[in-house]
Structure 1
């Protein structure tokens, strides 16, 4: 592989104009496709094989009107203290608002009269108007939303409290300036790392191009493939982070090759052949982790994983082709300013006569001197080698302490109750809970596959159950073979009592009685997540273990990598629980309302963080493996790996943390939680696991770290990720060019 990538890098360097033109053309093509594609809607949510989904499918078949996917809204009115919504004045204001809604947009399907529909609380203090639309929330026009927001303006002036809930006000999540700040932090880190604006700009430019192509492609295909708006957000988050990192590793290796005295084209080829091999395998682990989400068997999650995985593939291809092409355009400016100044000083000192001959060697000499100095990575690795046991214990205990909150993890899906209290959706949710009971915001829909008599019996049995606040009379379909029953729980939708009620209704009735609705779907979704976690872990960790065994030609190194990952992801999940469920430092991260952790968060973190963690493992340990293969002792190899890789891995981690942390400013609770979780997970994995646990374990193992059974060594393919075969071929080629007569004589002998 290293030989192929070496040739690819040199070709891209030579044909840089053609390569750059092709990538720009792809970006323009994807952009045109995104601009002309229909607006993305919310992805259809389904959980195949669950009872809630079976009930929904039955409703779609026998109650087509009831299963329509149009947007909905609830306009909630509350009378002033001591007042009643049945008073003539208040009633007139509500009726006026109903008429405003009916005439406010041609996208309205129906508007209910709260007094005719008995949508007034028992104490008379609260009433609500139900609004349904002909299209889903993403297809509502701005005029329609504005008309909804302005509903009840006169009622407010008359002293009534008016709040609006439902998904009709749902829009594409806004992340504010967070992502821009993340990219700016990344730019600063790159400038500090490289000491060159050109070298720092290359990873940013290529990452933006890759994300632009990936997100534009997702946008163009969103309507056809039923991709939700969250899919592009995830792809942007992952693609931007890995795109910067992969380019960072290639550029860093290119500069190291220049410091060794290589020609620019040869340096580009060697950088792609060595660091590019690590990029390929690191990207492959990320793709495996993301595409592996398909094992959960939830279409929405599968599509998100595949789309994000496609963006990672684009990032890898750009790192292997566009980066060497742009390095060809950059020239000597890719080298740090100090090295260039040192070269210029050397030229001046040697005089005009030798300037032409000495200019280039002076630049190489200055680069070598700069690269040869001991750095923080060297000093830190030697410190760990002197105290491996103490460092290992401290790191493991620290991560274990951070993981403690996981023991109280509660999972669920966010609803309007998890919105900030400053939003009208949350205030409408609270008003309905106060006026109609906590369970009113999460009613259960019971579907009876039978005649009216069976439906009546089922309704009567449900009324006798504990935890039931109200049961509506059965509503049969036209054929009379199916009926719907609405059950209002006593407790809030995300409570354990409501979950127990759902299971009780299901257990007390046969297969002809199915429970669905948003609350039941959330419960089934959480259960599916829990059931899939262990198989998913086994699949992803197992495949990655095999992949790393091939890369490192070792059994213990991949095993150590897997255990280190588990430590970091559990610690990160503990931090998420502490902030978003317990509320620790919640105000610092903009968490206005604590609650259960999103059901998909654990398995999602496992997938994404595992792929990113293996990135650092591959980039850091590959250098150690390369040094060990070339004859260094285990301790020396660790120091060499940290000398060349620690600074780059640290910069990559800081960049990823900055990019992910930028999404904490999102208005969407799910995006905020994902951004925080990934940022803290990268921090734990890069700075605790890879920088402390990895060198400590390798120091304790010594030569055994690189042990591989002979039979397995013969069975595994040799992918030459450290470029040993490439170096040998290039060395042989160099000797032949230096003295072809001597080579022929050696061959004859």
Structure 2
């Protein structure tokens, strides 16, 4: 029987909208999902594998100008010609190499073909004399270049008389990376889905309840693929974003569905009918899900500040998948729950393992939470010790990040067996002067031969310059190729970029090349990072204030969330930059971290940390509103949400680890790094540090100046102050403004707010009011 004894209540507002025609809602969702499958099919083929450069940078301008005016200066295809034990200058070898060069020059879509056997350039010949290069440029966009590469590669790869040919160069690296990412993504989904289903069955017991979150995740992923496919018609989108779509689509959808299904089952266990249970669930757990989705979307939206389309792509994918996951959880899931009713507990797979089962409905996962209550009590009893010890450990784990070195993504992202990686490694190890890794200086404006010669001498005098080639003049433009003494992107090469840009010249000069792109990318990141950080911090502070009405808790949330990420950043440097565990994890360390990766990982991990933080804080806030007992509120909040947050974190970590099995190093770093951050946040920060800090700050945790209390009373995400809290608050804290009545709120506010009501559970204990 319903708890109030008045029979089923008529659904109102959002509940009425999503449950009026549940079968029709699910049918429409099925049709839209089928359309998303059609629209989103082949999305990976239309996505790019670059996007690390700043489109407004000097190096980007120079690269495009050189492609336009001097296409041969920007080769993106390299054929590594090996001659076995004889010299590449052997007549038979040279004749075959010239034939291959001529044949390549005749291929459609290929321009600027040149080779060692034509030019005799020393940098195109290996130091041991047994390998040399044919260089060319494939024209068109990434899709066209990939099609051309697929067409011509079979004709050149392999043995040709006295020589063997391997295909490499930037276009081959990008194409091979796209292919591997698509294969790895399929494998990750095949790994993650069955493991996730098993974990959900362990959490819920019921196979029917376990399938609901998984279905919401699949709908979110397919819908996001369709959104990304549409975006590729208007802008560049990175293929790496598909990994985030899978991870967040499964992870967040499962998080949201876990809280909603759990709350629905709790309501059924108290005697509510399915329609009433759905209404209560949407007013409580549903509001928290909506609020949580907003906090995650805010963190991901910060990447739109950056000019690199690699980062912006993750914002597109992340915002789409978060909003779709929340929409599916708040629209489709309630409709399914209305239809299922008490059958949501069907196929209870744990019944055989439970002793003393009396045949009743399964108890909601985490309904007891005794262990978490004991943990909270212990932590708060020794709050200074836990606060200091946990903080010190997290800081120590993050110390390796102080030695971070930033670089660019190159062929070493690929497995060591990948052909394009093999070619580039041969060039790095065996060729002089970093061919393909030099710097190009574009000179624009009329100049005399003497002026070009004088400028070339000034460049050659720079300490980091090994060789200067050129100029090659065409009309009012010319370009020089500058080979650095060391690696293409090491610190001396980056300093050389600045030195070249400072050299006096009687004409306009622009510098590009791998090191120049890196320098400009780092500058773009540092220029936009404060704005992105400010956006995340300010909006997060505002949202958490609207949830809690405190000015202290938002500051705690931001600081503790940032602290929870230290282990991730330390591990990224220790493992992926310094190369520890590279053999076990199967990757080649380039000795640096790609410049945009820390920004991406921060935004994603910070958003996920806020996701868990919102669920914990909302439960603590509800209990504090009810009792006015700060310590009991913290204990009760961890008791009610600790198990569920941990289960959600483990499931998301499983998905991220599946992504981390990728053979592409950046994807592996993203998956494993965020998995570590999620686990540390749920099991260390939420379980130990948050209760310790909140115990130390005591009732001051809930402080806010009078004007902000009045603002929260009017606009905050709550349904008014319960009398029990008013009786315990000082007069200054309760007399600012009468509590707003729910009936006075518009429907939109009602659906977005967070409930403070407490309902009596079947065992006389408080039933969770926020999922």
TM-score by length of 2: 0.84
SS in 2 for 1:229: coil
* Structure 1 match to 2:78: 74
Equivalent residues of 1:37, 1:221 under 8 A apart: no
After superposition, give the CA deviation of every residue in 1:163-220 in whole Å (9 maximum; x if it has no partner). 5333235242232523322232322221111111111110110111111011122124
SS in 2 for 1:630: helix
* Structure 2 match to 1:55: 62
Q: As a proportion of its length, which structure holds more helix?
A: 1
SS in 2 for 1:440: coil
Q: Structure 2 matches for 1:130-529, cutoff 5 A?
A: 130-140=135-145, 144-145=149-150, 147-148=152-153, 151-155=156-160, 158=162, 162=166, 164-168=168-172, 170-171=175-176, 172=178, 173=181, 174-175=183-184, 177-335=187-345, 337=348, 363=361, 367=363, 373-437=368-432, 439-453=434-448, 454-477=451-474, 480-509=475-504, 512-529=508-525
Structure 2 Cα separation of the partners of residues 455 and 379 of structure 1: 78
SS in 1 for 2:120: coil
Equivalent residues of 1:78, 1:431 under 8 A apart: no
Residue segments in structure 1 that go unaligned for 5+ positions in a row = 348-361, 731-749
Offset of residue 715 of structure 1: 2.4
After superposition, give the CA deviation of every residue in 1:215-239 in whole Å (9 maximum; x if it has no partner). 1221243133222322333333323
Structure 2 Cα separation of the partners of residues 723 and 634 of structure 1: 20
After superposition, give the CA deviation of every residue in 1:722-743 in whole Å (9 maximum; x if it has no partner). 555899869xxxxxxxxxxxxx
Offset of residue 385 of structure 1: 2.4
Residue segments in structure 2 that go unaligned for 5+ positions in a row = 1-8, 724-740, 744-771
Q: Structure 2 matches for 1:468-617, cutoff 5 A?
A: 468-477=465-474, 480-509=475-504, 512-617=508-613
SS in 2 for 1:474: strand
Q: 1:551 to 1:66 in 2, by over 3 A?
A: farther
Structure 1 Cα separation of the partners of residues 103 and 381 of structure 2: 77
* Structure 2 match to 1:117: 119
Residue of structure 2 aligned with 1:621, choices 617, 621, 629 = 617
Structure 1 Cα separation of the partners of residues 195 and 166 of structure 2: 43
Residue of structure 1 aligned with 2:633, choices 633, 637, 651 = 637
SS in 1 for 2:263: helix
Structure 1 Cα separation of the partners of residues 112 and 476 of structure 2: 26
Offset of residue 671 of structure 1: 1.4
Structure 1 Cα separation of the partners of residues 536 and 29 of structure 2: 31
After superposition, give the CA deviation of every residue in 1:11-50 in whole Å (9 maximum; x if it has no partner). 4234211221222222222233234889404277451442
Offset of residue 595 of structure 1: 1.9
Offset of residue 76 of structure 1: 1.1
| Larger CA deviation: 181-190 vs 5-14 | 5-14
Equivalent residues of 1:556, 1:705 under 8 A apart: yes
Equivalent residues of 2:82, 2:132 under 8 A apart: yes
* Structure 1 match to 2:763: none
Equivalent residues of 1:36, 1:220 under 8 A apart: no
Structure 1 Cα separation of the partners of residues 416 and 350 of structure 2: 56
Equivalent residues of 1:6, 1:272 under 8 A apart: no
1:668 aligns with 2:664: yes
Residue of structure 1 aligned with 2:692, choices 666, 688, 696 = 696
Equivalent residues of 1:551, 1:721 under 8 A apart: yes
Structure 1 Cα separation of the partners of residues 36 and 19 of structure 2: 25
SS in 2 for 1:154: strand
* Structure 1 match to 2:706: 710
Structure 2 Cα separation of the partners of residues 345 and 189 of structure 1: 22
Q: How many residues align?
A: 703
After superposition, give the CA deviation of every residue in 1:615-645 in whole Å (9 maximum; x if it has no partner). 1110111011101101151222122212221
| Larger CA deviation: 465-474 vs 400-409 | 465-474
SS in 2 for 1:473: strand
* Structure 2 match to 1:745: none
Structure 2 Cα separation of the partners of residues 481 and 39 of structure 1: 39
Q: 1:338 to 1:114 in 2, by over 3 A?
A: closer
Offset of residue 507 of structure 1: 1.8
Q: 1:67 to 1:252 in 2, by over 3 A?
A: farther
Offset of residue 469 of structure 1: 2.0
Structure 2 Cα separation of the partners of residues 43 and 445 of structure 1: 23
Structure 2 Cα separation of the partners of residues 710 and 122 of structure 1: 75
Offset of residue 367 of structure 1: 4.1
* Structure 2 match to 1:22: 28
* Structure 2 match to 1:741: none
Q: 1:379 to 1:345 in 2, by over 3 A?
A: closer
Offset of residue 74 of structure 1: 0.4
Q: 1:346 to 1:466 in 2, by over 3 A?
A: closer
* Structure 1 match to 2:94: 91
| Larger CA deviation: 616-625 vs 603-612 | 603-612
SS in 1 for 2:282: helix
Q: 1:122 to 1:430 in 2, by over 3 A?
A: closer
After superposition, give the CA deviation of every residue in 1:394-422 in whole Å (9 maximum; x if it has no partner). 21121111101011100111112454332
After superposition, give the CA deviation of every residue in 1:669-722 in whole Å (9 maximum; x if it has no partner). 221211122111112212111111111111222222122221111123645645
Structure 2 Cα separation of the partners of residues 632 and 256 of structure 1: 24
Structure 2 Cα separation of the partners of residues 455 and 265 of structure 1: 82
Q: Calculate the aligned-residue CA RMSD, in Å.
A: 3.2
